[in-house]
Amino acid sequence: MTRFTKGHGTENDFVLVPDPEGTLELTPAQVQRLTDRHAGIGGDGVIRVVRTEFATDDAVRSLAPGAEWFMDYRNADGSLAEMCGNGTRVFAAYLQREGLVADREFAIATRAGAKVVRVTDEGFAVDLGPWRLVDEVGARRDGFDVMVRARFGKPVPALSLDLGNPHAVVMLPEGITLEQLDLTEAPEIHPTPVGGANVEFVRAVGPGHIALRVHERGVGETRSCGTGAAAAALATRFWSGVEDFTPWTVDVPGGRLTVTPLGGQRVELAGPAELVADGEIEL
């Protein structure tokens, strides 16, 4: 029997599996069973909670001196992911509840490097680290660098960003609402990025305020995506031509997040995290 905790950040939900000594080898089939919403626990992904020193990846293990715990994140289909913005907050909530961290600010290890988390009144804020435009020359010349087509839709321009994981952000043209989108299948991206990408569809709500829907690679449409919210805010900020450090409000189907651009081409994500259930399951 394997212990688990179920948690979510703005309804982006995860199954956390404690494995401090790194003895559990989760297979893609086991991850798929855990995340199955009918035959398993249900979730957008699985987070294995392991001491960084026991990570199998050399680059991750090298982070151990400054980050004791590794967020070993798997998408619902069992594939490995670099990191997950909402997952970092749920991971931090679990570490705090279990007494595995004591400070109000601490680093966690991910496949996209160490991320610094701090406790806030609303939950947690995480410095997602550096981000970049995938094709900055093309983006600054044309405003976009790829084309995206949702199911039954027409191709529309999108901007590619890398936040440790890949994103393509679409600002919906007039006449198309978020509610009209069919995201039951992965949107097509041209040219097709190696390894795929998360796709965010955005509508402006007001100054510094956007709403979005997202299709995550390896998962499908989710109620929220933390790095996707950050990518969407950064892309909208880029298109506005005012690249300052004002916080952005991002509404997702599962709630509300705050994205704050930081100096040094970094970005912070803040929002709630809840742990809702504990139990045991046979893998």
The residues annotated as belonging to the active site are 84, 225
Hey, is 99 helix, strand or coil? Answer: coil
* Rounded distance between C-alpha atoms, residue 129 and residue 80, angstroms: 19
Residue 51 in marked binding region:
no
Residue 97 in marked binding region:
no
Residue 75 in marked binding region:
yes
Structure tokens at 168: 């393509």
Residue 228 in marked binding region:
no
Residue 136 in marked binding region:
no
Q: What are phi and psi of 154, to 5 degrees?
A: -100, 155
Hey, is 173 helix, strand or coil? Answer: coil
* Rounded distance between C-alpha atoms, residue 258 and residue 232, angstroms: 12
Q: Between β-strands 166-171 and 198-206, what pairing exists: parallel, antiparallel or unpaired?
A: parallel
Residue 27 in marked binding region:
no
* Rounded distance between C-alpha atoms, residue 149 and residue 228, angstroms: 17
Residue 227 in marked binding region:
yes
Residue 271 in marked binding region:
no
* Rounded distance between C-alpha atoms, residue 167 and residue 92, angstroms: 24
Structure tokens at 130: 């550096």
Structure tokens at 84: 């997950």
Residue 226 in marked binding region:
yes
Residue 216 in marked binding region:
yes
Binding-site residues, in ranges, read 12, 75, 85-86, 165, 198, 216-217, 226-227
Annotated binding-site ranges for substrate: 12, 75, 85-86, 165, 198, 216-217, 226-227
